[in-house]
Amino acid sequence: MFKEFKEFALKGSVMDLAVGVIVGGAVGKVVTSVVTDVVMPPIGALLGAVDFSNLYVNMSGRTFSSYEAAKAAGAAVLGYGTFINAVIYFLVIMLVVFLLVKMMNKLRRQKVIETKQCPRCLTGVPAEATRCPACTSDLE
């Protein structure tokens, strides 16, 4: 049983998945930093110095200085600013994944080799070839 588990755990696909999860976690931290530290401050500045993470609707009737203070007090609050941050975070991740997949697809594309037919043996030969690899006859 240990041998079977070892074979399963060391398969290429399992190891690839493990590496993907680890790299994904690291990329997630970078994207979080990009959203919270790079993307959101200019958007907040354009909208009049708005800090999205501090936008909320207080449903408790009490007054609080910030969203964190209301949450710490256990008040009923609707944190729509945090939701806006999460949506932007999701969109940035989707953009990064889209660009990554697009780049990988571009790298995977095979160059299409144009061919011509050898008049002697009718074998497909690359268009730039001057000699047929099958029958060795000269090509035009």
Q: pLDDT tens, 4-33?
A: 877 777 776 777 788 888 888 888 888 778
| pLDDT for residue 111 is more than 80 | no
Distant-in-sequence, close-in-space partners of 78: CB < 8 Å, separation ≥ 6: 56, 57, 59
**CA–CA–CA angle 19, 24, 29 (5° rounding):** 135
- pTM (two decimals): 0.52
Greater model confidence, 112 or 56: 56
Write down the CATH superfamily of domain 2-109: Large-conductance mechanosensitive channel, MscL; domain 1 (1.10.1200.120)
Question: What are the tens digits of pLDDT across the range 62-104?
Answer: 888 888 888 888 888 888 888 887 888 788 778 877 887 888 8
| pLDDT for residue 127 is more than 80 | yes
| Every domain of the chain and the residues it spans | 2-109, 111-140
pLDDT of residue 12: 65
pLDDT of residue 101: 82
Q: Residues of 17-33 as b/e, b for ≥16 C-beta within 10 angstroms?
A: eeeeeeeeeeeeeebee
